[in-house]
Amino acid sequence: MTATPDIGPDAYFQQQLEAGRIQIQKCDSCGAHVFAPRTFCKSCGKDALSWVDISGKGEVYSNTTVRKKPEDGGDYCFALIDLAEGVRMISTVVGTDPHDVRIGMPLRAEIEDHKGAKRIVFRVEEAGR
């Protein structure tokens, strides 16, 4: 676990993405995982949060296909993803036809470059991984 740094939680989260790490917070008091980054635990209200690496495993909770013209990049999947750590994240599902993404589909998190910054995206988890 990494102790909370002196910079704000959003800045630290992005700093870690830029370094190639996906981390979320975990409460030192009650053990709950916390996302989105914040200064207190949403479960117990304490401010004793540390940063931990995630497993990278997730599952589609809900999704929609955003329609875009082909010249603007084409359709993509926007999804709510339940992480194995018990928190929900909003992201996109890449590497598969957005119309094929289904609720309950297993996913794996990765970091990609997007418009000069790093962001978390998810790919469909291959069987046996």
Give the residue extent of every domain in the chain.
Answer: 2-53, 57-124
From first CA to last CA, the distance across the chain in angstroms is 25
Model pTM score: 0.88
CATH top-level class of 57-124:
mainly beta
Q: Which amino acid is at 41?
A: C
- Mean residue pLDDT of the chain comes to 93
Residue that is written with structure tokens 């995982």 in the block:
33
Residue-wise pLDDT for 83-108, tens only, equals 999 999 999 999 999 999 999 999 99
Torsion (CA) 120, 125, 128, 129 in degrees, nearest 10 = -10
pLDDT band, residue 126 (cuts 50/70/90) = confident
Closest CA to 93 of 127, 54, 65, 55: 65
